[in-house]
Structure 1
Amino acid sequence: MTEILPLSRSQITPAVLAALAEDAPYGDLTSQLLIPEAARVVAVLNAREPGIFSGTAVFDAAMELTDPAISVQWQLADGEEFASGAELAVVEGPARSVLTAERVGLNLVQRMSGIATLTAQYVTAVTAVPGNRSRVVDTRKTTPGLRALERFAVRCGGGHNHRYSLSDAVMAKDNHLAVLSQGDHRKLTAVLSTLRPRLSHTTHIEVEVDSIAQIEPVLAAGVDTIMLDNFSLEELREGVRLVAGRALVEASGNVRLETIAQIAATGVDIISVGALTHSVRALDLGLDVRFGSESR
């Protein structure tokens, strides 16, 4: 397994604190009333279906930010595959605190592991294509406030990240071009050519096109990546032929698990998949108490 660029504490903490504040703004009323203050618990994070795990540090943060006295012992690492019924981690600490942090910790790693698992399925479909060179990448169609976590989960599944935010690269999409060209593709080259002199040499320029006719005017402006949006397979093959290595070619729009292998076979360099984050199903994981005790 390749090394996965980790999440930073500054990315994890705000998201987890916001979730904890949402779930228990004035404390956990049930645990405070029912559970003795001195009670301790040992609980197991169990997999109720198979998948790829993502979110060890996020789950740790949910526990630690609730109570530093909680300890978590992991049986696997981010990006590792697990079977249904596997014990993924053992959690031990004050019972009230574990019960308070439980749902937030589960919600986050269930979603992240769902993303990692779905991403791995797309990556597997692409890598099975003979001579494949396509990367599976995510999009900005992420849950507000959870982008860093969800994009980490994509990496855990073997995928790659697109630009992180609007500030990271120039990416002119259909609506930008509609404003600029007013339907005249000949205007695109002149307008797009003004970008490079105004940018740092490290800034990437990508332009989305929705027709074969737009490819040459856009390429003439010296862009780094051209996105072929909602092209048919035949049009993708023609687009790759026309670009001929002058820029990276990205396929986007209506990419599904059952079609991604055919898209990869057209020779595109990048396949962006919004479904990795915008419509994923959370995996079924559970935190089950193994035994509890009351300190004497």
Structure 2
Amino acid sequence: MSTTVEPGTIPPHALHRVVQTALEEDAPWGDVTSETLIPAGATATATLGAREPGVFSGGAVFAHVMHAVDPAIRVDLQVEDGVVFAPGDVLATVTGPARAVLRAERVALNLVQRMSGIATVTAQYVSAVSGTAARIVDTRKTTPGLRALERYAVRCGGGHNHRTSLSDAVLAKDNHLAVLLASGIGLGTAIRGARQRLGHTVHLEVEVDRLDQIEPVVSAGVDTIMLDNFSTEDLVTGVALVGGRALVEASGGVSLATVAAIAATGVDVISVGALTHSARALDLGLDIAVAPAD
């Protein structure tokens, strides 16, 4: 079973940077335990196995870690990213120099467990809104340095990505609006001025937290309006007030218990910070059998 969204790929430069940083952090001067105890010529065969159900994400990342430690390590992925697995399933097999496999083990596991946890919780949210037009998206509440991997994991779970960074799009939130108000600049005036200065391809979104803010924002010409911490009743009213003139995003107070009701209000997008900031790493294990040296 696969997701309905093609996850695409992780930018190679981002993957390389994450893996190199993690390996340098974990073994800055080598793996003193393996280098002391394990014979230099020993080889290892290992299986990456599932100890609980979930959605797989990070197969290429797992393999990249292994190959970064030693290109002689062979990794055979048994499932594709985005595939649902059950406890006991073998997700990948690894064969290579034992010292290298042991050195790569923790970093490889940390990343694939984290990514699979994100994919799994995302799939739960996506399933909860099935049958509606709402799209589940992530936020910038990602682990610093791991955004590219975590955003990819969201896609593996069938979700979508919000803006990648502060450089991608205009998203005026409550603190931006507070500064404008303190500066004596009206919201509608600020939005119209921003639209004139922006390139025609730049997306413009504004967050509001009251119904009476909707009309001034939408009439000023935004692409998306974010209704933040609205009740479901006010979301229904807000969608009607927007009347198709902009995309409507719901944010705040979103959980697995509430997301279906939020989706039923007719919003186009539901942003969920919990996909990345609260996802639990899945319980995956790498079980190693070491063969003696010749």
| TM-score, length-scaled by structure 2 | 0.97
- Cα displacement (A) at 1:295: 3.5
Counterpart-to-counterpart distance in 1, 2:290 and 2:176: 59
SS state at 1:292 partner: strand
Q: Do residues 56 (structure 1) and 56 (structure 2) align?
A: no
Q: Report what 2:227 is aligned to.
A: 228
For 1:274-285, what aligned pairs fall within 5 Å after superposition? 274-285=273-284
* Equivalent residue pairs, number: 291
Find the partner of 1:86 among 65, 78, 89.
89
Q: Which letter maps to 1:13? A: H
Q: Which letter maps to 1:77? A: E
Identity %: 64
Q: Report what 1:66 is aligned to.
A: 69
Find the partner of 2:38 among 14, 23, 35.
35
Q: Report what 1:206 is aligned to.
A: 205
- Cα displacement (A) at 1:189: 0.8
Q: Which letter maps to 1:250? A: E
Q: Report what 1:143 is aligned to.
A: 143
Counterpart-to-counterpart distance in 2, 1:31 and 1:237: 60
Q: Which letter maps to 2:136? A: V
Counterpart-to-counterpart distance in 2, 1:283 and 1:30: 26
- Cα displacement (A) at 1:183: 10
Find the partner of 2:24 among 4, 21, 25.
21
Gaps of 5+ in 2: none
* RMSD (Å), alpha carbons: 1.2
- Cα displacement (A) at 1:3: 2.4
Counterpart-to-counterpart distance in 2, 1:4 and 1:283: 19
Counterpart-to-counterpart distance in 2, 1:76 and 1:214: 48
Counterpart-to-counterpart distance in 1, 2:260 and 2:254: 10
Counterpart-to-counterpart distance in 1, 2:6 and 2:152: 12
SS state at 1:41 partner: strand
Q: Which letter maps to 1:207? A: V
Q: Which letter maps to 1:215? A: I
Gaps of 5+ in 1: none
Do 2:46 and 2:95's aligned partners in 1 also have CA atoms closer than 8 Å? Answer: yes
| TM-score, length-scaled by structure 1 | 0.96
Counterpart-to-counterpart distance in 1, 2:13 and 2:189: 42
Q: Report what 2:191 is aligned to.
A: 192
SS state at 1:148 partner: helix
Counterpart-to-counterpart distance in 1, 2:49 and 2:183: 56
Counterpart-to-counterpart distance in 1, 2:216 and 2:77: 53
